[in-house]
Structure 1
Amino acid sequence: MSAGTASDAALDALFVPFSTGELTLPADENLLFLRARDGFPLRERKRAGWLMQQSFKPAADALAASGFQVTADLPERRFRVVLVLPTRQREESRALFAQAMAHVGEGGIVVASVANTEGAKTAEADLARLAGHVTTLSKHKCRVFWTRPGAVADASLQAAWLTLDEPLSVAEGRFVSRRGLFAWDRIDTASALLVDVLPNDLRGRVADLGAGFGYLACTAIERCAGITSVDLYEAEARALEPARRNLADAVTRAGRAVATHVRWHDVTHGIDEGYDAIVSNPPFHQGRADDPTLGRAFIAAAARGLAAQGSFWMVANRHLAYEATLDACFASVRTVVEQGGFKVFEARNPRR
């Protein structure tokens, strides 16, 4: 995230009660930070053994580069202090609160911070409902709120909220997804448009960049009998299990052997080379603002990863100007269709 965003403000605000002395940070390894994000307020208080949980690869990499211990998954043990930066998706955040309460040790506390513009009052009410009374302060246009030491979660509510992070069926049972993923509860309109014009003769090694729960790759496997292997690249680790399950189902429906690999990976750092076809509906947001640099980085990665005779198929919002980057990276580019606010490109002959 860039400096000055609401999300940075939430990170700043999270540490205010520790700065004022209302709360105390552990000097040992007894701190877990759920959906942790790197930043000066965290780095200046760093202690050996603190565990950062972050499932989004770029954010996890930033934490690791600052010397923190990072995991994409939830640990087994409990902690004296559990910090949380909730998400904008309410049910996903409820699952986070339930997970935080499940990982706080005897006498410990859960502390959360949310920007006012991103549902602070709602998040505060949810944690209070789960854990009882919370103490609140306002700072940096955010709310910071924390549980009483040793607060015990409402057992039935906690059990119900923990299930909110489990994979669930979408698209009339054809796929599984997970709350909080991009377009988690439906087939994204842009991806559906790309699938509508995707040729049936794709073959060989195929990559799906920014794959989410795997809709593009799964559809390609079922439609294109010449595909022999598929690699999914996805930066959000919470999407990996649904993607694996969806790929396995797609291979079963296709009735033939297809090698599949699901990778937790930041595409902007590059991908493997030699793909015969690459498909992508790249992300275009950084926070709430449109950020076409992400899509441009995906285009550059695709050009480097594509075999000389391969093809790159990409869908994007019509208002995002990717044409110059496509022309710089590929010798042959055509707009296949423009419809419903989106455009699909086919690019060939990558420039080396």
Structure 2
Amino acid sequence: MKDFAFDLLRPELAQATGTTLWIADENALQPELAITPRNNVTVISNRIDLTDSLTEQGWQCRFSDFNFSEYADGSIDTLIYRVSKEKPIVHHVINQAIRLLRPDGKLFIAGLKNEGIKTYLDKAKKRFAGNMQTEKSDKNTWMGILTRPDACDTDSLDDQDYPVLRDVASDETYHYYSKPGVFGWNKIDKGSEYLIEQLGRFTERLKQPATRILDLGCGYGYLAMNCASDDCFVTATDNNATALQACQENFSRHKINGEVIPANCAEGIDSRYPMIICNPPFHQGFSVTGDLTDIFLRATRRRLENDGIAAFVTNLHIPLERKASAHFNRVETLADNGSFKLVLLAKPKR
């Protein structure tokens, strides 16, 4: 799918001079980038799949939670950013641009009208003391070119203390630390909670108790933490740096028997597991014919032992079972609560 917002930034990325940072997240990359990597450009991405893809293309990349602490004040000439989906991240990047850019350095920021780009540009213009030009490719797609003034005395935008992990939820077992940038960051996800409440429906199907479990798309770690025990080691994976940071914090605080690994749907993990747990990032409006479903199902098929089971929880409206039947000989809906359903996958097709 063509991204007209990124197309506005494409020429700036191709001809950027001086020390340049390209801020890239899930909104920032088209399948065919078609730009020659530049030695003066460093990509900062919170997505391990984007980092891996761009590194393979020859770009200099750093995988991080948009942590710019290693860069000195006024050390950057150009910053290029296609706005993220979440407001705290956008505000964080704009605030950091003020610190990072040298006087007369430029921030190129683009997005779509329905993503709030015009509001972001208005806010950024105030932070940059009015030094902004705009371009647009159509009435819905805008780019701001902001020049860093010698002095910026305006208040920082509200980023909800984006860099800081905080205690966001608790139950009888754990306190959970998270932050903006993790899906459902400030609550216990109802689907995940339902899966843990009904976990016995899955584990009773195992021939013997699982001593190793793989969590695909771990988020801040709720499922993994509640499946781990002294007798069961859990490997938690995610492609998002924010989620991994939060999950590692929760594992460390609660001494969880497990490990946290950056991986895009278990890519780079060679082991097979007797049990896999997953609350995939499917949502209302998600097309079950899309690539995301197949990615999760293929990863589960590859990493599941022949006599193992996978425990999925999804929204009730998602016909996961139909696509799963191409990958597993056994697909069974075990329960639903009117909002979510629990689906067991077993006997992977090799």
Normalised by the size of structure 2, how large is the TM-score? Answer: 0.83
User: Which letter does structure 1 place at the counterpart of 2:24?
Assistant: R
Does residue 65 (structure 1) correspond to residue 70 (structure 2)? The answer is no
Paired position in structure 1 for 2:231: 226
Paired position in structure 1 for 2:38: 47
* Cα offsets for 1:165-195 (capped at 9, x unmatched): 3222211481111212211111122212211
Q: Report the alpha carbon displacement of residue 50 of structure 1 after superposing the two structures with TM.
A: 0.8
Measure, in 2, the Cα distance between the counterparts of 1:178 and 1:50: 28
User: Which letter does structure 1 place at the counterpart of 2:281?
Assistant: P
Any conservation in 2 of the 1:206–1:230 contact (CA below 8 Å)? Answer: yes
User: Which letter does structure 1 place at the counterpart of 2:265?
Assistant: V
SS of corresponding position for 2:326: helix
Paired position in structure 1 for 2:336: 338
- Any residues of structure 2 matched to 1:195-344 within 5 Å, and which? 195-199=196-200, 202-221=209-228, 224=229, 226-227=231-232, 229-251=233-255, 258=257, 260-267=258-265, 269=267, 271-284=269-282, 289-290=286-287, 292-344=290-342
User: Which letter does structure 2 place at the counterpart of 1:52?
Assistant: V
Which runs of no fewer than 5 residues in structure 2 stay unpaired?
A: none
Paired position in structure 2 for 1:184: 185
Q: Which moves more between the two structures, 167-176 or 183-192?
A: 167-176
Q: Report the alpha carbon displacement of residue 309 of structure 1 after superposing the two structures with TM.
A: 2.9
User: Which letter does structure 2 place at the counterpart of 1:205?
Assistant: R
* Cα offsets for 1:105-143 (capped at 9, x unmatched): 233111211111110122112212332213223224212
SS of corresponding position for 2:156: helix
* Cα offsets for 1:56-110 (capped at 9, x unmatched): 1222233223321111234523211111222122122111111222221233111
Residue 234 to residue 89, structure 1, CA distance change in 2 (3 Å): same
Measure, in 2, the Cα distance between the counterparts of 1:184 and 1:100: 25
User: Which letter does structure 2 place at the counterpart of 1:210?
Assistant: G
Residue 325 to residue 269, structure 1, CA distance change in 2 (3 Å): farther
SS of corresponding position for 1:139: strand
Paired position in structure 2 for 1:255: none
SS of corresponding position for 1:163: coil
Any conservation in 2 of the 1:109–1:149 contact (CA below 8 Å)? Answer: yes
Paired position in structure 1 for 2:117: 120
Measure, in 2, the Cα distance between the counterparts of 1:318 and 1:151: 55
Residue 186 to residue 127, structure 1, CA distance change in 2 (3 Å): same
Any conservation in 2 of the 1:38–1:63 contact (CA below 8 Å)? Answer: no
Measure, in 2, the Cα distance between the counterparts of 1:150 and 1:62: 35
Q: Report the alpha carbon displacement of residue 15 of structure 1 after superposing the two structures with TM.
A: 4.7
Paired position in structure 2 for 1:143: 142
Measure, in 1, the Cα distance between the counterparts of 2:115 and 2:287: 17
Any conservation in 1 of the 2:280–2:314 contact (CA below 8 Å)? Answer: yes
Any conservation in 1 of the 2:101–2:148 contact (CA below 8 Å)? Answer: no
Q: Quick one: which of 4, 7, 22 aligns to 1:33?
A: 22
Measure, in 2, the Cα distance between the counterparts of 1:40 and 1:313: 31
Q: Quick one: which of 85, 90, 93 aligns to 1:93?
A: 90
Measure, in 2, the Cα distance between the counterparts of 1:101 and 1:155: 10
Any conservation in 1 of the 2:160–2:180 contact (CA below 8 Å)? Answer: no
SS of corresponding position for 2:80: strand
Measure, in 1, the Cα distance between the counterparts of 2:317 and 2:283: 13
Any conservation in 2 of the 1:208–1:279 contact (CA below 8 Å)? Answer: yes
User: Which letter does structure 2 place at the counterpart of 1:137?
Assistant: E
- Ranges of 4+ aligned residues in structure 1 off by more than 6 Å: none
SS of corresponding position for 2:185: coil
Q: Report the alpha carbon displacement of residue 148 of structure 1 after superposing the two structures with TM.
A: 2.4
Paired position in structure 2 for 1:104: 101
CA RMSD of aligned residues (A): 2.9
Any conservation in 2 of the 1:79–1:103 contact (CA below 8 Å)? Answer: yes
Normalised by the size of structure 1, how large is the TM-score? Answer: 0.83
Q: How many residues align?
A: 330
SS of corresponding position for 1:247: helix
Measure, in 2, the Cα distance between the counterparts of 1:40 and 1:31: 22
Measure, in 1, the Cα distance between the counterparts of 2:180 and 2:306: 38
Residue 293 to residue 25, structure 1, CA distance change in 2 (3 Å): closer
User: Which letter does structure 1 place at the counterpart of 2:211?
Assistant: G
